[in-house]
Homo-oligomer: A and B are copies of this chain.
Amino acid sequence: MTHDNDGSPDLTRGMRLLWRAENGARRGPKPALDLDRIVQAAIEIADADGLMGLSMRKVADRLGVGTMSLYTYVPAKAELVSLMLDAVDAEGVLPHTVEGSWRAKTESWAREDWRLYHRHEWTLHASGRHPLGPNTMRRFDSALRSLAGTGLPEAEIVAVADVIDTYIRGMARRSVEMRDREQRTGVSEAQWWAEHGPMLDEYLAGDAFPAVREVRAAGAFESDLDSFEYGLQRILDGVEGRIEAAG
C-alpha cells in the first residue's frame, strides 16, 4: 500500500539494506538507533528465545524505544530476519583459507556450518531463500573456492555446494530439535526410549514391520554412529568419484 518515489514496488529495498546501500537521510532528527544495533538486539533475543520468541515488541523493549520506531529502519520483520541471517554469517572461519585438499577444505566448511547452526538455532527455522547479503556471499564464495581447482564443471561445483549446504541444514535441524526437546521437556533421549520403547515394541509385535524389528533388535537405534559425519563422508565419496572421472 505504501507507494514509493518512482511507483515500482520496492523489490530491492531488502537487498539495499543488506549491503548497507541506503542513501543516508538528509533532513529530520538524528536517528537514535542504527541498523546494526537493532540486528544485534534481535539476534540476542533469537539466540535466547528462538525465532518464535522474537517479536518486534521485544526488540524495541530491549533497545528502549517504541515498537513502531523500528519500522523506520526496517520495512518488516522478514527483512530484519534477513539482516540477522547475514550478520551471523560474519562469524566463523572461511574454508578456503584452510590447508589441505579440496576434501579437507570442504569438510572444514561443513563442520563450521554445523557449529554455526548449533550456535544460532533460529537460523534453521528461517526460510532458506533470502536475498544474498555480503557476509553470506563471502562464505559462499569461499566454499566455491574450495572446489575451484578440482576440474569439476562450474555447474557441478555449484550443485555440490548446494547439496552439501542443504544436507547440513537438514541434519542440523534434526540435531537441534533433538537437543531442544531434551532440555525443554527435561526428558533425555534415553528416557524417551525407556518411556515409549515398550509401547512401541507392542505395536511392532506383529509381523507388519520386520525390518524395523530387526534393526531395533540389533541395537541400531542406540548405535553411537555419528549420522552427520557418516552422511557427509558418503557425499564426499560420491563427489570424489566425479572428480576422478573429470580429472
| Binding stretch for chain B, among A81-89, A99-107, A170-178 | A170-178
Number of copies: 2
Contacts of A158 in B (CB 8 A): 215, 220-221, 223
Complex Cα gap A223–B160 (Å): 13
A196 touches B234 (CB 8 A): no
For the complex, count residues of A whose C-beta is within 8 A of B.
Answer: 70
Contacts of A1 in B (CB 8 A): none
Residues of A13-32 whose CB lies within 8 A of B: 15, 19
Q: Mark A61-77, 1 if CB is under 8 A from B, else 0.
A: 00000000000000000
Q: Mark A198-212, 1 if CB is under 8 A from B, else 0.
A: 011001100011111
Which residue, A19, A196, A231, A233, has most C-beta atoms of chain B within 10 A? Answer: A231
Please tell me if A162 contacts chain B, counting CB pairs below 8 Å. yes
Please tell me if A90 contacts chain B, counting CB pairs below 8 Å. no
Residue A196 contacts which of B15, B160, B214 (CB distance < 8 angstroms)?
B15
B212 touches A141 (CB 8 A): yes
Complex Cα gap A50–B82 (Å): 22
B167 touches A225 (CB 8 A): no
Complex Cα gap A126–B215 (Å): 27
B215 touches A129 (CB 8 A): no
Closest 9 A/B residue pairs (Cβ)? A234-B238, A163-B231, A170-B170, A237-B238, A144-B211, A155-B223, A154-B218, A166-B170, A154-B220
A residues sitting closer than 8 Å to B (CB atoms) are: 11-12, 15, 19, 96, 127-129, 131-132, 134, 137-138, 140-142, 144-145, 148, 154-160, 162-163, 166-167, 169-171, 173-174, 177-178, 181, 187, 195-196, 199-200, 203-204, 208-212, 214-215, 218-221, 223, 225, 227, 230-231, 233-239, 241-242
Sample (21) of A-B pairs whose CB atoms are under 8 Å apart: A11-B196, A15-B196, A15-B200, A96-B211, A129-B178, A137-B209, A141-B209, A144-B214, A145-B210, A154-B220, A154-B223, A157-B215, A159-B231, A162-B231, A163-B171, A167-B170, A167-B231, A233-B238, A234-B235, A234-B241, A235-B235
Given contacts A96-B211, A155-B225, A234-B242, 13 further A-B contacts (CB under 8 A): A12-B196, A128-B173, A137-B203, A137-B212, A144-B215, A145-B210, A148-B214, A154-B218, A158-B220, A167-B231, A235-B238, A237-B237, A237-B238
